[in-house]
């Protein structure tokens, strides 16, 4: 919030007045009381685990953390708002904060997963609609998904698809290693 308060001082400042109470309400209504599964930290790759069974159980059955009780202490959201602005990359920041604020980190991950704009989603939907003609009505969703993925990779320059003898040949790039041939 501090970032937005500092940066959004012009015509966009009115958005903060309505956004702040909505974010707080979302926190209190949905995430504050949420039970969150905490992923155990990955063990160091050099040292073997001390107790094999305990290590296995920690990886297979992570602990379920109940919501924190707020008596006179401030909840996770209030503590977060009081923190100074961090210059750590956003995903790394929330991964570091996840053990301390599991419910708030869950909210942050959910909100960060929302696309900033929907044009790419609409483009994919429109492209799928163009592929599903009456003649191709028996295509499965998985096949359409594969086709959209390949089209997206080609549009972004990750691969080049060319036609050869009525089959698509994928050129994975200029790397001459055996794994790409």
- Does 26 share its domain with 83? yes
- pLDDT at position 56 is 58
- pLDDT at position 25 is 93
- Does 108 share its domain with 123? no
- pLDDT at position 72 is 46
Number of folded domains in the chain?
2
- pLDDT at position 180 is 44
The two most distant CA atoms of the chain are separated, in Å, by 73
- Does 106 share its domain with 125? no
- Does 106 share its domain with 69? yes
Question: In a structure prediction context, what are the per-residue pLDDT tens digits for the chain, which is 181 residues long?
Answer: 777 888 888 888 888 888 889 999 999 999 998 887 666 655 545 555 456 656 655 665 545 444 545 444 788 999 998 888 888 888 889 989 998 999 999 999 998 888 777 777 777 778 777 777 777 777 788 888 888 888 888 888 887 777 666 566 666 665 554 444 4
* Range(s) of the domain holding residue 57: 2-112
- Does 104 share its domain with 161? no
């Amino acid at each position: 919030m501090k970032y937005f308060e500092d940066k959004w001082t012009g015509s966009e400042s009115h958005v903060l007045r309505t956004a702040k109470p909505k974010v707080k309400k979302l926190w209190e209504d949905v995430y504050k009381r949420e039970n969150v599964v905490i992923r155990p930290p990955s063990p160091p790759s050099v040292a073997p685990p001390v107790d094999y069974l305990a290590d296995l159980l920690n990886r297979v059955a992570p602990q379920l953390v109940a919501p924190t009780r707020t008596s006179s202490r401030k909840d996770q959201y209030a503590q977060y708002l009081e923190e100074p602005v961090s210059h750590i990359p956003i995903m790394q920041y929330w991964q570091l904060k996840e053990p301390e604020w599991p419910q708030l980190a869950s909210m942050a991950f959910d909100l960060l997963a929302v696309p900033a704009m929907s044009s790419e989603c609409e483009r994919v939907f429109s492209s799928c609609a163009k592929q599903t003609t009456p003649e191709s009505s028996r295509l499965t969703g998985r096949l359409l998904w594969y086709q959209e993925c390949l089209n997206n990779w080609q549009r972004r320059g990750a691969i080049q698809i060319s036609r050869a003898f009525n089959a698509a040949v994928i050129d994975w790039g200029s790397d001459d290693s055996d794994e790409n041939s």
